[in-house]
Amino acid sequence: MTGTRGEDKPPVVVITGASQGIGAEIAKLFSREVPGVSLALLARNEAKLREVQGACAAESMVNVYPCDVSDADRLEAVLTQLRDDMGSPDVLINNAGTWHGEAVQDMTPADFDRVIASNLRSTYLLCHYLLPGMLALGRGDIFNMASTAAFEGYAGVSAYCAAKHGVAGFTKALREEVREHNIRVSCISPGPTWSPSWHNTGVPEEKLMPAEDVARAFLNIYNMDRNVVTEDIVLRPRSGHIVSN
């Protein structure tokens, strides 16, 4: 891709949590609007990944890599295969995550660990394994998905709040580590966004943000001149704070 972004080749973009919701919309949007893009879609559900792959623009190269991105050994093997297939990625979108609602006194340690692993450990692991390639290329973009839960506290969602606070802090530190290496690091914090996880909650879809509009925020940040770093962006529904029944 040429132009103000100063790149000499179309990007290779890794998207985690790409099987549904915001991750799926990011994949479809990038496939339509970034000429020549190659997409690597990661999530645990291969069937849903294949559906997203089929919904992407036919002109784009789209590969799917089913895996649990919080499993270090499995992820390392998958990323080795990904680099063999597609070359070294220069865009990473850490979108994978899970939510668990339960009071602290009732939540099991296993559930707490699972939420931290899915949201925070996975973000670290992808950065750990893919940063060396970006440093060698001399460029890169990393988008870490946080949430309004990254700077607020919600009763009954302590594990998720802890994980997203961690993602926000990790992103700030990483940005300073790579600032002088032409690697931009952004933290995106959306509020309630429509996805399958909101089914049967009693919250009407029209009160939530459309996933495709949140996805467009990623593309808009990516398309800015490389001298522009969007450090943090917050998106909220017009109606404000939303609690499910």
Residues belonging to the active site = 160
Instruction: Note whether 166 and 116 are within 8 A (CB).
Output: yes
Nearest CA to 123 among 100, 97, 98?
Answer: 97
CA distances from 182 to 87, 138, 139, 171, 226 (A): 19, 6, 5, 16, 8
Tokens (6 digits) for 46: 């291969």
Instruction: Note whether 209 and 191 are within 8 A (CB).
Output: yes
Distance, in Å, from the CA atom of 201 to the CA atom of 112, rounded to the nearest integer, reads: 22
CA distances from 239 to 5, 189, 206, 215, 216 (A): 36, 16, 10, 20, 20
- Alpha carbon 195 to its chain centroid, in Å, reads 14
Instruction: Note whether 157 and 130 are within 8 A (CB).
Output: no
Distance, in Å, from the CA atom of 218 to the CA atom of 161, rounded to the nearest integer, reads: 22
CA distances from 202 to 157, 196, 236, 243 (A): 18, 13, 19, 9
Instruction: Note whether 35 and 61 are within 8 A (CB).
Output: no
